[in-house]
Structure 1
Amino acid sequence: MRDAYGLDENFREWSAGHRFDPAERRPWWIELVSSAVARGVAVQRARIVSEPLSLYARYEYELTSGHNVRAGEDVRWLPRRQVSGLALPGNDFWLFDGTSVLFNHFAGDGTMTREELLTDQSVVSLCSSAFAAVWERAVPHGKYRPT
């Protein structure tokens, strides 16, 4: 849900105009997700973004086809202006099988400070309903055209 995350070497190279195949940089992700998808697991990612996109979000957008989608993720994008009526958790999260939530906590500069795994059913339910609401409104990656 952030407009920028820790600005790593890959982002700096991309910002300088060097285009690369993200699957070559993170083959472990391709393998992890593609093997899960092959077992019948749905891997969905929703990105809430400000428009016009920040430079970092544009970087994510460009790399999504060669990385996330190639791995088998179903990725959708939702402009931030369309989420005002939704109740969303204050942190990015991963929802696992409706039983646990992994929150990612970040510093102001976008670097991750820690992760927090919760199994409290009220928190899991909140995140599940929030994700479902975002997913319903979001645009599939192949159809999303950022401004």
Structure 2
Amino acid sequence: MENKEIVTDKNFQNIFELANSSRDGICPVRDIIARISDKWTLLAIYALGGYGKMRFNELKQRIGDVSQRMLTVTLRNLEADGLVNRKVFPEVPPRVEYELTSLGISLMNQMKYIIDWANENGEEIIKYRESKLK
């Protein structure tokens, strides 16, 4: 799709009209995009989508440099939005597992396009960044 086609696509324009008209209220597009577009949310969804059900420390290890507090907040938000299911097992010590819900899986399926795009264009973007630093 060319940029000219995007500009003339009324659907894109309608999204921004809706977002701008509901700034004082909750705009689904702004609210949801803000929630799912942060680094830790994307990585948590990506890890759960790629590896399946995981315990907290396993997920933390897969993601890497996320703090325990940040991962906890991220998982709570994902659970509150219905994207992640948290299951507590009545054991001592308690065992907790996280997995994507069907809604989370549908988001992961959409994220795949962005992930593929990033993989395909990563080198070019890095070259642009490096050229701007010189």
Interval of TM-score (by shorter of Structure 1 and Structure 2): under 0.3
Higher relative contact order (CA 8 A, sep 6+): 1
TM-score, reference length from structure 1: 0.25
TM-score, reference length from structure 2: 0.27
Please identify which structure carries the higher strand content.
1
Please identify which structure carries the higher helix content.
2
Q: Which has the larger radius of gyration?
A: 2
